[in-house]
Amino acid sequence: MRRVLADLWETISDSPFPGLTTHAYLWTSNRNVLFYSVASDAEFDDFERLGGIDHQYLSHQDEAGPQLGAISERFGATLHAPAAEADRIGGHARIGVAVADRHIDDNGVEVIPTPGHSPGSTSYLATGADGDRYLFTGDTLYRNASGRWTAGYLPGISDADQLAASMELLGTLDPDVVISSAYAGDSAVHRVDASTWSADVAEAAHGVRAAVDRQA
């Protein structure tokens, strides 16, 4: 694992598809929170050395897998996951907190439903040790290989209207650092410019519409 911010640790990379890379992130705040998930138990001892995992937050169903149960068993972590995707996620581990509405929870994490990439896609906003606001977007929004913000639109799977609306919502937020799950490029962790953030996200929303038009 490597430290990417004062209180945020990045796991080793996983490549579920060619050209796509994913990581999970351990936020060592007053409680240790793991965002997203891992593909193996290779770093479980590292998690232990950092204080374990108290809570795990999934952004959407594609992050579900056998390691959810292993994390729950090893660390006793409470699993937070989208209620709309409980059937697929719950087959791997018991969901302790099914998230559905926008709110700030007891861990200081703001839960922000951002459907479209998948029915239950959810983003999370948390304030780091240095006062930076970390926005975890899952696969809903990521930087592509050319450095542009891109919406996670999958033809035939994603809902374009919902995803465009989620882009509009993300554009109203004021993050300092955006951390996606999957990404194409050299990193999933990006410090953003407040003066261009809304326009960057609007461009990502436009990309969804353009993709739909190309299919028509």
Number of folded domains that form the chain: 1
Give the number of other CB atoms < 10 A from CB of residue 198: 15
| SS3 assignment, position 84 | helix
pTM of the model: 0.94
Confidence of residue 214 (pLDDT cuts 50, 70, 90): low
- How many Å apart are CA 216 and CA 137, to the nearest integer? 28
Could you tell me the CATH number of the domain that includes residue 109? 3.60.15.10
Summarised one tens digit per residue, pLDDT across range 135-166 is: 999 999 998 888 889 888 888 888 999 999 99
Report the alpha-carbon distance of residue 61 to residue 83 in Å, rounded: 10
Give me the domain span that covers residue 125: 2-215
Determine the Cα–Cα distance for residues 203 and 199; give it in Å rounded to an integer.
6
Q: Across residues 30-41, what is the average pLDDT?
A: 93
Distance CA 38, CA 145 (A): 22
Over range 59-78, report the average pLDDT: 94
